[in-house]
A and B are shown apart, each in its own frame.
Chain A
Amino acid sequence: MRVTVKLFATFREGRFKVEEKDLPDSSRVIDVLLPLNITPEEVAICLVNGRDVNEQHVLNDGDTIALFPPVGGG
């Protein structure tokens, strides 16, 4: 399956802004994080199609994953 991975803030440093990834079926968010050298503890906000999920969330073909370190404002 194919998913879109979007990185934000410091996660972009040395990586990318947005990339498409091919993953085996039933992959989880953690399977996206590990090859990027991002630990689940570093992720403050993980959105899949805009909904907040954790690293064990099972992905589907066509999903968009947005990953943020701790950031905020107002």
Chain B
Amino acid sequence: MGGYTGKVLRINLTEGKISTEPLNKELAKNYISGRGLAGKMFADEVPADVDALSPENKLFIASGALTGTNAPTSGRYMVVTKSPLNGVIASSNSGGQWGAHLKFAGYDMVILEGKAARPVYISISDDSVEIKDAAHVWGKDVYATTDILKQEFGDDKVKVLSIGPAGEKLSLISAVMNDLYRAAGRSGVGAVMGSKNVKAVLVRGTGKVENANADEMKNVLSATMAKLKENGVTGQGLPTYGTAVLVNIINESGIYPVNNFQESYDPDADLISGETMTANHLIKKDPCYRCPIACGRYSKWKGGEGAGPEYETVWVFGSNSGIHDFDAIHKANDLCNKYGLDTISVGATIAAGMELVQKGYIKQEELDGTPLEFGNADGMVEWVRKIAFAEGLGAKMALGSYRLAEIYGAPELSMSVKKLELPAYDPRGVQGQGLQFATSNRGGCHVRGYLISPEVIGMPEKLDRTVIEGKATWVKIFQDLTAVIDSLGLCLFSSFALGLSDYRALVNAVTGFNYTDEELLACGERIWNNERLHNLKVGYTAAEDTLPKRLLNDPIPEGPSKGQTIRLAELLPQYYIERGWSATGVPTPERLSSLGM
């Protein structure tokens, strides 16, 4: 069995016990690896009712089946745990180099259990695994922690994954960071690591990941690499402009949220577009492991330089906060990386705070002199810092936008689904993506099914974004295929150029599993249903398959999509039928049985 190392590293922090165990191959065939397999193991091992920040929660840091192979974009790993933000299975996905190096060290995943008595870090050097004291780096930011621990390890090739002060302070919107700038960002996974008193996990691997069928892999590689190169998005658009090229596309479509989703078109968006960033700020590309796309940016601003910013980050600290100052957006992005925060949730929480101030819910005296208003760039940057250190009102904001707005009696001002902040697309003008937001197992998220690809960009084919016909089918297929891509450890961006058959060819050449297309997609459906069953166990119902009131009830007020509304009440029943679920969104025994669940 190629691709997999066949070994799981389990660390009980309470007892200080380190052990390895064989990977369950039968389970791996059905749930692949990463998000799928770790999600299934999580659901089997961790009772649904545990407190996410208690020692009883477990943190799985899992590679995908193809992570660390020579497959294109195979640098991804996932942090799978119970989310402290909304209680569902978090599977926060990150690129960079760390995930591949976990495989080189000989492990498919690391499971952290219990809670260390004092701050520690984990040091993995092939077979040698140690739990080490982290008192000297506790409280330090991600950049300093990375430097200090790298020096201590004594080998520059070591890869560092860590939390920042935000995770230590149990912020519900904190991230797990790796390779300095890469984030397993969403769902508050940094706080789970912080709750276990684990500051960092270092990995140095000298091994290699084998392919089951090396000759076949040569052919599959050349075919998939050619497709990635020839595709306009993966071969030209993303390499040239990075993800922020979306600013103008989404804005010109009139589905670009402004001022906490109060408007959906920004006449000044080009000031902060990918085109502007490329012309004025880009220093170099910053690709992940074995990625021919290289969308990652390394850029400069007044007084500094660093990674990013990505489209979502540009939007959330930019137009969604009424800001067109690229230097401020860069600074806010850099602080999130440094302190270990999710840029989407942080920016959206600040924007919600701005609206709470605008509408008089938050009083000026609570702000300690730091402006919290749309368009105030300096204030916005300072609020990022205050969230990281839970200072003043920043302590409430560190809980995310839903809890912040709820504290002030206005939860409807949180632009979130299942308490997870929505990304940069107004669902009222893009019906399939709207349905996907409402039904995404982890809440307001675009990377559980990126319907923007067919509905706006036109890949793999162009769909009319304003109609609902056929969209439930598209959403189900996209959600299931995305679960497969995640679990393979490949980047979702590869799917602009590659389809199900390409992924099947890759995984079969690497693992020798010999899936058919149908069998591979069924793995995705199994993964989706596993997550849904967990959602139901923790108390979510069909009532939470919804959108914020503003987006559900009001039409888009201005711009190119003026007057458009989301037809969710019509889409949801179609979606449940498509999934083989009951009318109340519960997977039926028949469908589960057909999936072997």
- The contact size tier of chain B is 35 or more
On whether the beta carbons of A44 and B253 are closer than 8 Å, the reply is no
Residue A16 at the B interface, CB < 8 A? no
Chain A residues whose CB sits within 8 angstroms of the CB of B312 once the complex forms:
74
Residue B86 at the A interface, CB < 8 A? no
**Distance A44 CA – B208 CA, assembled complex (angstroms):** 40
**Distance A52 CA – B273 CA, assembled complex (angstroms):** 21
Instruction: Summarize B's interface: helix, strand, loop or mixed.
Output: helix
Known: A50-B253, A70-B237. 4 other contacts (CB 8 A): A10-B240, A72-B459, A73-B245, A74-B446
On whether the beta carbons of A72 and B462 are closer than 8 Å, the reply is no
Chain A 11-49 per-residue mask, 1 if CB under 8 angstroms from chain B, else 0? 010000100000000000000000000000000110101
- Cβ contacts A to B, 8 pairs, < 8 Å: A8-B248, A8-B273, A9-B237, A50-B561, A68-B249, A70-B237, A72-B245, A74-B246
On whether the beta carbons of B252 and A72 are closer than 8 Å, the reply is no
**Distance A9 CA – B244 CA, assembled complex (angstroms):** 11
Among B241, B275, B450, the residue within 8 A (CB) of A74 is B450
Residue A66 at the B interface, CB < 8 A? yes
With both chains docked as a complex, state the minimum distance between the C-beta of B490 and any C-beta of chain A, in angstroms. Answer: 14
Looking at the complex, which of B67-75, B228-236, B500-508 is the stretch in contact with chain A? B228-236
Residue A6 at the B interface, CB < 8 A? yes
Tell me the chain B residues, 331-379 only, with Cβ under 8 Å from chain A: none
**Distance A74 CA – B254 CA, assembled complex (angstroms):** 17
**Distance A63 CA – B34 CA, assembled complex (angstroms):** 48
With both chains docked as a complex, state the minimum distance between the C-beta of B181 and any C-beta of chain A, in angstroms. Answer: 17
* Chain B, residue nearest A8 (CB): B248
Chain B residues whose CB sits within 8 angstroms of the CB of A70 once the complex forms:
231-233, 236-237
**Distance A6 CA – B295 CA, assembled complex (angstroms):** 24
With both chains docked as a complex, state the minimum distance between the C-beta of B93 and any C-beta of chain A, in angstroms. Answer: 12
On whether the beta carbons of A50 and B249 are closer than 8 Å, the reply is no
* Chain A, residue nearest B231 (CB): A70
Among A8, A10, A72, the residue within 8 A (CB) of B457 is A72
Chain B residues whose CB sits within 8 angstroms of the CB of A10 once the complex forms:
236, 240
With both chains docked as a complex, state the minimum distance between the C-beta of A57 and any C-beta of chain B, in angstroms. Answer: 14
On whether the beta carbons of A17 and B270 are closer than 8 Å, the reply is yes
Task: Please give me the 6 A-B residue pairs with the lowest Cβ-Cβ distance, nearest first.
Answer: A50-B560, A70-B232, A71-B237, A73-B243, A72-B457, A66-B252
On whether the beta carbons of B237 and A69 are closer than 8 Å, the reply is yes
On whether the beta carbons of B248 and A72 are closer than 8 Å, the reply is no
